[in-house]
Amino acid sequence: LALAGSLGGGQHYDYYGWQPESLPHGRFYGREPQCLDIPPDMQLCRDVGYKRMRLPNLLEHETMAEAKQQAGSWVPLLAKQCHTDTQLFLCSLFAPVCLDRPVYPCRSLCEVVRDSCAPVMESYGFPWPEMLHCGKFPSDHELCIAVQFGNSKATPPPVSKICTQCEMEHKADGMMEQMCSSDFVVKMRIKEMMEENGERRLVAAQKKKVLKLGPLKRKDTKKMVLHMRNAGACPCPQLDSLSGSFLVMGRKVGGRLLLLAIYPWQKHNKEMKFAVKFMFSYPCPLYHPLLYGAGQH
């Protein structure tokens, strides 16, 4: 029995008379479930289609503060639009609709979102997390939340969609969000670019300026090679010409340097100049955004 159609009616189920229930992991709720308004600052789920959520949620977050903080790390993935049901799937766990018992996402819903979004996460060095392992969720013949807005298959990315690493922010705040949650930030020239096995490799010229060192060692900066995962077939306008300098941001994962964002260096760009000058005084989020964070959860 898959739940299809609008879940908006779930807000009317405000009564609870059950005993604390065990979750798939074998753990129990530590407190009686309650029905609360989805807060306006819970960006991931504030416009999901229903107004009330169940707490503790289905990821065992017992306080609204914890649920909001953890949900916040998934907002960047939602912005990538990797599947039309991404929000439905994530919010069914972070902000589950209020019914008289917990209703999990169907396994098929998890699978279509995973198949579309895992490659995007992989581009940034993040595997699909164990807490979202699709085998944990019920099959479609059980009571669960089904695929609603997307089809049963993964949403294929448009051929013309640029590489995720090449999507640029145009305001200083957006750039500083990327900077403060990247491991390193460097101004450099690109000596050469190679493509192999679905990824690009950018070899930096010898002269470079490290704006944020992070975990980089001397050997990392001396012979810097940046890897662009899942970027062999997508366009990257910034790299159509390798002339001039670039502002690059990235993470160090397993000894490799992953490119997260790249901008052509524009010395007269006021937004870029402001971002570089004030990146260390920018009030970084308490959590590390999933797609840019320096640490995995």
113-146 pLDDT, tens digit each: 999 999 888 887 788 999 999 999 999 888 999 9
User: How does residue 81 score in pLDDT terms, banded at 50, 70 and 90?
Assistant: confident
User: How does residue 65 score in pLDDT terms, banded at 50, 70 and 90?
Assistant: very high
Angle between helices 270-278 and 172-180 (to 10 degrees): 30
What ranges do the domains of the chain cover?
A: 2-145, 164-278
Does pLDDT of 151 surpass 70? no
In the CATH scheme, what is the code of domain 164-278?
Answer: 2.40.50.120
Structure-block tokens of residue 45: 């789920």
- Residue 174 pLDDT: 87
186-208 pLDDT, tens digit each: 999 999 999 988 899 999 999 99
**C-alpha to C-alpha distance for 217 and 10, rounded to whole angstroms:** 53
Q: Which residues pair with 263 in a beta bridge?
A: 247
**C-alpha to C-alpha distance for 92 and 145, rounded to whole angstroms:** 8
* pTM tops 0.85: no
Those residues with Cβ within 8 angstroms of residue 268's Cβ, 6 or more apart along the chain or in another chain: none
Look at strands 256-264 and 245-253 and give their pairing. antiparallel
Domain covering 2-145, topology: Frizzled cysteine-rich domain (1.10.2000)
Instruction: Please give the residue that has the higher pLDDT: either 282 or 85.
Output: 85
- Residue 290 pLDDT: 54
Structure-block tokens of residue 138: 């019920």
- Residue 2 pLDDT: 56
| Single-letter amino acid, residue 124 | Y
